[in-house]
Copies of this chain bind each other. A is one copy, B any other.
Amino acid sequence: MTAARADAEYTAPVEDYLKVIYDIERHAGAAGTNDIAQRLAIAPASVSGMVRRLADQGLLEHERYRGVRLTDMGRRVALRTIRRHRVIEAYLTLALGYPWDLVHDEAERLEHAASDELIDRMAAAIGEPSTDPHGAPIPTREGEIEERALHSLADLAPGERGRVVRVSDDDAERLRYLAELGLVPGTEVLLLSRAPYGGPLALLVGAGPNADESVAGAGERMVGPALAAAVLVEREA
């Protein structure tokens, strides 16, 4: 029952749990033990124990068998960690020329070691960007985040046009392939057609502002639905 502050030190595993729970909660309302376990690549039984500890620390609330929700404090800690992660990703690409498929793993470790002071200096050095290299929004120092509801590329209707805003960053291989296809944030896409029964989508990919990053220019592309789900777009007229 000690009212701990959100600026205390937390272990790397704790920060990882909170990050993952934050993300699951956003999409599903509450985070189940199994989802957490899968996202962290650990056994579900291991999650139960940690969840109890996190609840004791006031970082989340747990209804047995019904899942987990972050408290305000837990959310603050999660967002601070997410800010660190994304600022580091942005800094590595913009200031050190890191390729965009490698920054995630590096940030995954550095986020637990970097001080807020360092994060702020990094952010300032690259002009306080509002998103990371994969298009994910960077929370402010104060823990504000601009989460807009996005559609996946797979949700577009044939003939509909959209702009890539964000891509999933947790698989380096996939990121490299997306870059090859030109599917990077800022690129315009037009869904030409969608084959039925989970078949491939045909796209017209236009050049975006990050065209220097992408290997290929504009052109027609075929992508499977799993890949399309990893590409988030905003609809356009």
Q: Is there a chain B Cβ closer than 8 Å to A114's Cβ? A: yes
Residues of chain B lying within 8 A (CB to CB) of residue A235 = none
A115-123, A175-183, A195-203: which lies at the B interface? A115-123
A21-29, A66-74, A102-110, A164-172: which lies at the B interface? A102-110
Q: In the assembly, what is the distance between CA of A118 and CA of B107, in Å?
A: 11
Q: Is there a chain B Cβ closer than 8 Å to A97's Cβ? A: yes
Residues of chain B lying within 8 A (CB to CB) of residue A122 = 96
Q: Out of B96, B109, B118, which one reaches A106, CB within 8 Å?
A: B118
Residues of chain B lying within 8 A (CB to CB) of residue A113 = 109-110, 112-113
Whose C-beta in chain B lies nearest to the C-beta of A98?
A: B121
Give the one of A106, A118, A122 with max B CB within 10 A.
Answer: A118
Kindly report how many copies of this chain are found in the complex they form together. 2
Q: In the assembly, what is the distance between CA of A118 and CA of B114, in Å?
A: 14
Chain B: minimal CB distance from A148 (Å)? 31
Residues of chain B lying within 8 A (CB to CB) of residue A97 = 121
Residues of chain B lying within 8 A (CB to CB) of residue A125 = 95-96
Q: In the assembly, what is the distance between CA of A71 and CA of B109, in Å?
A: 28
Whose C-beta in chain B lies nearest to the C-beta of A105?
A: B115
| Contact pattern, A 71-96, Cβ under 8 Å of B = 1, otherwise 0 | 00000000000000000000010011
Chain A residues at the B interface, C-beta cutoff of 8 Å: 92, 95-98, 102, 106, 109-110, 112-115, 117-118, 121-122, 125
| Sample of 11 more A-B contacts, CB < 8 Å, known A98-B118, A109-B115, A110-B114 | A95-B95, A95-B125, A96-B118, A97-B121, A102-B117, A106-B118, A109-B114, A110-B110, A110-B113, A112-B113, A113-B113
The 8 closest A-B pairs by CB, nearest first: A109-B113, A113-B113, A96-B121, A110-B113, A106-B115, A106-B118, A96-B125, A110-B114
